[in-house]
Amino acid sequence: MLHRSPRIAILGGGITGLAAAQRLTELAAGSLEWCLFESTARLGGVLQTVQEGDWRIELSADNFLTREPWARDLCHRVGLAEALLDTNTDRRGAYLVHRGRLVPVPPGFVLMSASPLWPTIASPLLSPLGKLRLLAEPLMPRGRQQGEPDESVADFARRRLGPQALERLVQPLVGGIYTADPERLSMAATLPQFLEQEAQHGSLWRAALRRARTAVTPVGTGRKEAGANYALFQAPAAGMQQLVDAVVGRLPAERLYTGVEIARCERQQNGWRLIDAMGQVRGDFAAVIITLPAYAAAATLPAGTLADELRRIEYASSSVVCLGVRDEQITRPMNGFGFVTPAREGRRLIAASFSSYKFPGRAPAGHTLIRVFVGGALQPELAELEEPALLQLVQEELGELIGLRGVPILTRIVRWPRRMPQYHVGHLQRVDRIEQLAREYGGLHLAGAAYRGVGVPQCVHAGQLAAEQASAELAQQAPATGA
């Protein structure tokens, strides 16, 4: 099968694959053909917004971080600059469950660093001994040196901040992002900025003091952010689906194949042959960009070391339970966007996010939309509960924590089996091996949440980078000819 121009296949129509397609469209200018294959009936992957009357429900991510520019820049490229919303300023902040009740995350405490330190010391979250250990952080010796083996988030936090700070602050805040076990989670792959702070300043507190000299309090808040810097989060006004639709709307429809599962990528002399699940040859391609989960990517590739390495990347499952309630059903409301739960509390949920507190237009007036996350690496069995049991569990937990009363007006459950890659200790070394093995094949590019970042911006960047690499690689080759 010969074509007048090289062809690139993209496997997977999530945001990584769509970002790759969008970048190829920018780069190609008619000289480079591409097509995208998505096994399901819709594009967007986990990014999906459902509208039920006046309820606007996000089924996975409900915003993106703007510290890295890639997601925001993509919004601008597809005409959504004016549609982007900042988070509401009046409820910014987060809570932690502590001894069965909600306690605010200390202002200025973000993941495992505090600026200023005194609100954390004044917080009831730590005992006097825990606070003394936290104050001793600048006295702790440096740990892992550059070039030494990776260490876990738990080991780092325990070493620098003490066991109480790990259990009561770091584990729930980091676990709320990665749904992971901090004893296995790679520090280098998830929180490298704190490794850099330790290496450069010898102390997280000294690094925080230096940053504080130039830090600016988010406009309109008059206070430090807690848990995360919510001033750095944005979302399209109509939800994350608006980003998906805007990208898809800029792509040639004839190159998007939904409902087509590619079962095998077979190496050919000058590229790759794609065969679908029905055994039909879908074409020969000069390059393939695979944006599937690592285990799914492995299933499409020839047996060997690369596929084996991909299968070693583990995944966690979770369920998201969405509840719509009247404001008066919440008898103990909180002044924050949500809460996270330390594993030591023995609760049956990871976190809860109040969507209608974050952005306008998520719930009818006088109502609240809550999203509760269940399962993850520490409680995988809960994600698999039947819907009635899962709903009962969530309502019981919210009844105890926020005083939720009565029957929700709206309920929706979405399950994400094996969707969150687990960046275990040594993850970056594994990714280096995977990328080297992929280069040895030639014309093979792997991108997505499995490798160098799970957030929407990182996935967008990974797709764009894969597109640029594939395009540059083909530009160096002589064009194919024939009819």
Q: For 170, which DSSP code?
A: I
Q: Is the pLDDT of residue 431 over 60?
A: yes
- Helices 204-212, 192-201: axis angle to 10 degrees equals 90
Per the DSSP assignment, residues forming a β-bridge with 102 are: 97
Q: What is the mean pLDDT of residues 24-37?
A: 86
Take residue 429 and report the two structure tokens written for it. Answer: 């070394």
* 296-333: pLDDT as tens digits: 999 999 999 999 999 999 999 999 999 999 999 999 99
Q: How confident is the model at residue 92 (pLDDT cuts 50, 70, 90)?
A: confident
Q: Looking at per-residue confidence, does 29 or 414 come out higher?
A: 414
pTM comes to: 0.93
Q: How confident is the model at residue 479 (pLDDT cuts 50, 70, 90)?
A: low
Take residue 274 and report the two structure tokens written for it. Answer: 């794609």
> Which secondary-structure segment (H or E) carries 164?
helix 163-165
> Which secondary-structure segment (H or E) carries 176?
helix 171-178
> Which secondary-structure segment (H or E) carries 194?
helix 192-201
Please, what's the b/e burial string for 272-298 (b: 16 or more CB within 10 A of its CB; e: otherwise)?
A: bbbbbeeeeebbbbbbbbbbbbbbbbb
Distance, in Å, from the CA atom of 56 to the CA atom of 242, rounded to the nearest integer, reads 12
Q: How far apart are the first and last CA of the chain?
A: 9
**Domain 63-91+315-421 sits in CATH 3.90.660.20:** yes
pLDDT of residue 229: 66
Q: What is the mean pLDDT of residues 368-395?
A: 98
Distance, in Å, from the CA atom of 430 to the CA atom of 374, rounded to the nearest integer, reads 28
Structure-derived torsion over alpha carbons of residues 58, 176, 419, 80, reported in degrees to the nearest 10:
40
Distance, in Å, from the CA atom of 389 to the CA atom of 398, rounded to the nearest integer, reads 14
Contacts of 307 (CB under 8 A, 6+ apart): 298, 299, 301
Distance, in Å, from the CA atom of 252 to the CA atom of 259, rounded to the nearest integer, reads 17
CA proximity to 390, closest of 365, 408, 369: 408
Distance, in Å, from the CA atom of 239 to the CA atom of 43, rounded to the nearest integer, reads 15
Q: For 83, which DSSP code?
A: G
The three-class DSSP label of residue 354 is strand
Distance, in Å, from the CA atom of 19 to the CA atom of 39, rounded to the nearest integer, reads 17
Distance, in Å, from the CA atom of 256 to the CA atom of 18, rounded to the nearest integer, reads 10
Classify domain 106-138+149-219 by CATH architecture. Orthogonal Bundle (1.10)
**Domain 7-45+242-313+424-475 sits in CATH 3.40.50.11720:** no
* 401-425: pLDDT as tens digits: 999 999 999 999 999 999 999 999 9
Q: How far from 461 is each of 179, 276, 313, 381, 424, CA to CA, in Å?
A: 22, 27, 20, 33, 22
Minimum mean pLDDT among 225-229, 252-256, 382-386: which range? Answer: 225-229
Same fold, 7-45+242-313+424-475 and 63-91+315-421: no
Q: What is the mean pLDDT of residues 110-115?
A: 92
Distance of CA 341 to the CA centre of its chain: 18
pLDDT of residue 374: 98
Contact between 228 and 87 under an 8 Å Cβ cutoff? The reply is no
* 176-206: pLDDT as tens digits: 899 999 999 999 999 999 999 999 999 999 9
Q: How many CB atoms lie within 10 A of CB 21?
A: 28
Domain ranges within the chain, ordered by starting residue: 7-45+242-313+424-475, 63-91+315-421, 106-138+149-219
Question: Across all residues in the chain, what is the average pLDDT?
Answer: 93
Q: Is the pLDDT of residue 4 over 70?
A: no
